[in-house]
């Protein structure tokens, strides 16, 4: 797991590999084997022309068929060995690919749970999916294409250069001209390409995020007749992506073209030189073959090196995206270590201040005292800070000022684990994953027995429904199984809470999307679970508020009124206004 305390940096070639190095540790042997394979492949590529050149000399000059055949045998053995190596290299590569990337994916995935809730609330879903699913693959590409192949390409370039220098220093010098040209061009264009790479990642993330938003609101788009606007935005997003892709591609192509032109000129000079050399019998045909082959290898490897450098710039942008995410603030900053022990369930909120952005205050000096065992309703307009306050109680957000005490213990001194064990939350959107009812309910208490689950289901009022299903609590629900209604989802959430058995429960607009009849049934289920516990009910419906002993209205980040719901219904103008508007909206 990445420690967020490490200072994030702008990655470069070396720091990117250093960062990925820790993920390679567990696969060292396979990576070494993989590298040895490619190294041998490069060695074979270098040796083969020498043997081939010798074969030509033996047959052309000395007509020595026996020696030719003997050398052919070595050549064949080398080729067969290479073929077997290729097969094995790709098997190891495929395995490494899966295991290495899985390690990074898991780390990124786990980090999502530990990342600061405030940071995560700003992250878009598409970007997170890109990180887990696509950018992690680029890590392997960087290791294989930009490390293994780069090192081998460099070794081939060095070997070919030395070899040609030994045969003819004049040809060697000519060949060497290409190397500094490629280096200068690569550095010059590399920065540009990295800039485009960063931009591409930014645009792509925002585009994918937008696509997710659109897919989630397809019905609204149809309903509002906003198809044309969405289509325009789609094209605009693509144009932006095309532009940055074209800019990046053009830069890369310009660089490659400069290298190619210089390369062609050098090639012509070398061929002329070799022709003159050969005409004066200073060189054998076999050696000409070796030199020409090596020149081809040298230029293609120099091109690969510069191409690999350009690709690396784009890849480092993707890895930077992962790196930055892994260095985002995490819940580690919470710092509390003590166990929260809730005996009575008294909640004291004193002078809480909180803002998501500077100047955009959500809670401003909010104070509140909730007595043990109270059912307390929090009401107010949308965006007034009710949910923010609930999230503070479970340690998602940290108050910028003020304290929250539960039974006299400052929440900041307590560990997040103990806080979340003692405070349960039921939200409007209940997580139901593909699996059995039992598996879904076990999220509340992983080691619960079947009897405990059944009891929880009975108390949550969902057991009648489960009994009618062919496999009972083992029936698969979710997108691949039996569909469950909003009310049934709420009951599953209540069953989970039963099993979890927290001392304090928060219902955050849990019944907002349910019809009145279902809401009434859910309220019945609430009654049994709420007895003997302190509960906070964040509600937009009067019926939910009326279940409570006390209610507070939040306005402008402060508590503006507090009292019993019955009293408020009769005497509070704010209460009447709030629910008159809500009820009429609900009726409409």
Partner 1 sequence: MKRKGKFVRFFVKYAVKTPIIYLAIVIIGVSAFVSLTLTTKVPIFETYSGFVSYTDHTYSIKIDKEITGDVSTIFLYIDKNTATYRINDISVNGNTVTFTTNDDEAIMLLQTTSKLSFDVQISSMTLFRQIFLNGGKN
Binding site for partner 1 (CB under 8 A): 29-30, 33, 36-37, 40, 47, 50-51, 53-54, 57, 61-64, 67, 70-71, 73-74, 77-78, 81, 84-85, 88, 91-92, 94-95, 163, 166-167, 278, 281, 284-287, 290
User: Kind of pairing, strands 550-555 and 534-538?
Assistant: unpaired
What lies within 8 Å, CB to CB, of 46 at 6+ separation is 156, 159, 160, 297
Question: Which residue's CB is nearer to partner 1, number 167 or number 455?
Answer: 167
Measured between alpha carbons, how far is 15 from 13 in angstroms, rounded to an integer?
A: 6
Around Cβ 66, how many Cβ atoms within 10 Å? Answer: 8
Beta carbon of residue 168, minimum distance to partner 1 (angstroms, whole number):
11
Beta carbon of residue 53, minimum distance to partner 1 (angstroms, whole number):
5
* Burial (0-12, 13-18, 19+ Cβ within 10 Å), 380: buried
Beta carbon of residue 145, minimum distance to partner 1 (angstroms, whole number):
20
Beta carbon of residue 378, minimum distance to partner 1 (angstroms, whole number):
55
Question: Which residue's CB is nearer to partner 1, number 67 or number 120?
Answer: 67
Beta carbon of residue 84, minimum distance to partner 1 (angstroms, whole number):
6
Question: Which residue's CB is nearer to partner 1, number 57 or number 488?
Answer: 57
Question: Which residue's CB is nearer to partner 1, number 85 or number 569?
Answer: 85
Question: Which residue's CB is nearer to partner 1, number 297 or number 554?
Answer: 297
Question: Which residue's CB is nearer to partner 1, number 163 or number 212?
Answer: 163
Beta carbon of residue 296, minimum distance to partner 1 (angstroms, whole number):
17
Beta carbon of residue 395, minimum distance to partner 1 (angstroms, whole number):
41
Longest dimension (CA), the chain: 116
Question: Which residue's CB is nearer to partner 1, number 196 or number 295?
Answer: 295
Helix (H) or strand (E) holding 505: strand 504-508
Question: Which residue's CB is nearer to partner 1, number 28 or number 358?
Answer: 28
Which is nearest to 308 in space by CA: 90, 192, 141?
141
Around Cβ 242, how many Cβ atoms within 10 Å? Answer: 12
Question: Which residue's CB is nearer to partner 1, number 47 or number 151?
Answer: 47
Around Cβ 467, how many Cβ atoms within 10 Å? Answer: 12
Measured between alpha carbons, how far is 425 from 268 in angstroms, rounded to an integer?
A: 76
Region at 225 (left for phi over 0; alpha for psi -120 to 50; beta for the rest): left
Structure tokens at 115: 């990342």
The alpha carbon of residue 560 and the mean position of all alpha carbons in its chain are separated, in whole angstroms, by 42
Q: Where are the beta strands (DSSP E) in 247-359?
A: 347-357
Residue 383 φ/ψ, nearest 5 degrees: 80, 10
Beta carbon of residue 534, minimum distance to partner 1 (angstroms, whole number):
53
Measured between alpha carbons, how far is 508 from 387 in angstroms, rounded to an integer?
A: 7
Beta carbon of residue 224, minimum distance to partner 1 (angstroms, whole number):
54
């Amino acid at each position: 797991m990445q420690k967020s305390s490490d200072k994030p940096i702008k990655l470069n070639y070396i720091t990117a590999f250093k960062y990925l190095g820790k993920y390679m540790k567990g696969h060292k042997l396979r990576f070494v084997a993989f590298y040895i394979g490619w190294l041998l492949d490069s060695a074979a590529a270098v040796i083969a022309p020498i043997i081939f050149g010798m074969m030509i000399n033996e047959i052309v000059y000395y007509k020595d068929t026996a020696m030719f055949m003997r050398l052919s045998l070595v050549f064949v053995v080398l080729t067969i060995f290479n073929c077997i190596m290729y097969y094995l290299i790709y098997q190891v590569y495929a395995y490494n690919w899966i295991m290495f990337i899985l390690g990074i994916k898991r780390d990124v995935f786990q980090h999502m749970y530990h990342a600061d809730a405030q940071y995560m609330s700003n992250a878009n879903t598409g970007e997170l999916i890109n990180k887990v699913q696509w950018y992690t693959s680029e890590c392997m590409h960087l290791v294989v294409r930009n490390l293994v192949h780069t090192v081998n390409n460099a070794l081939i370039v060095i070997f070919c250069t030395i070899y040609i220098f030994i045969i003819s220093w004049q040809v060697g010098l000519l060949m060497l001209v290409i190397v500094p040209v490629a280096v200068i061009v690569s550095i010059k264009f590399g920065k540009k390409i990295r800039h485009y790479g960063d931009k591409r990642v930014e645009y792509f993330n925002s585009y994918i995020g937008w696509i997710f938003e659109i897919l989630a609101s397809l019905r609204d788009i149809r309903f509002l007749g906003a198809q044309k606007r969405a289509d325009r935005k789609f094209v605009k997003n693509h144009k932006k992506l095309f532009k940055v892709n074209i800019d990046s591609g053009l830069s890369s192509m310009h660089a490659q073209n400069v290298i190619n032109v210089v390369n062609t000129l050098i090639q012509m000079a070398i061929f002329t030189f070799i022709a003159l050399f050969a005409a004066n019998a200073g060189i054998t045909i076999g050696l000409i073959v070796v030199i020409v082959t090596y020149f081809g290898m040298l230029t293609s490897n120099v091109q690969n090196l510069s191409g690999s450098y350009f690709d690396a710039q784009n890849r480092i942008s993707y890895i930077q995206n992962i790196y930055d995410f892994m260095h985002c603030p995490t819940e580690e900053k919470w710092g509390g270590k003590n166990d929260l022990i809730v005996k009575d369930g008294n909640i004291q909120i004193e002078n809480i201040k909180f803002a998501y952005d500077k100047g955009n205050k959500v809670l401003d000096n909010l104070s509140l005292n909730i007595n043990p065992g109270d059912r307390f309703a929090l009401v107010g307009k949308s965006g007034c800070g009710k949910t923010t306050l609930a999230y503070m109680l479970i340690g998602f957000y940290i108050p910028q000022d003020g304290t929250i005490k539960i039974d006299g213990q400052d929440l900041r001194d307590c560990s997040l684990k103990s806080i979340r064990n003692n405070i349960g939350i039921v939200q409007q959107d209940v997580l139901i994953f593909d699996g059995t009812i039992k598996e879904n309910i076990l999220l509340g208490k992983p080691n619960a027995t079947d009897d405990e689950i059944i009891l929880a289901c009975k108390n949550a009022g969902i057991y009648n429904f489960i009994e009618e299903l062919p496999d009972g609590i083992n029936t698969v629900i979710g997108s691949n199984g039996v569909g469950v209604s909003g009310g049934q989802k709420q009951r599953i959430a209540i069953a989970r809470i039963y099993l979890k058995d927290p001392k304090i429960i928060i219902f955050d607009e849990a019944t907002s999307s349910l019809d009145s009849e279902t809401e009434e049934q859910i309220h019945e289920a609430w009654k049994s679970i709420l007895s003997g516990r302190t509960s906070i009910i964040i509600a937009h419906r009067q019926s939910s508020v009326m279940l409570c002993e006390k209610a507070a209205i939040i306005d402008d980040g402060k508590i503006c009124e507090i009292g019993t719901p019955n009293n408020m219904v009769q005497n509070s103008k704010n209460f009447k206004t709030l629910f008159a508007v809500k009820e009429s909206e609900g009726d409409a």
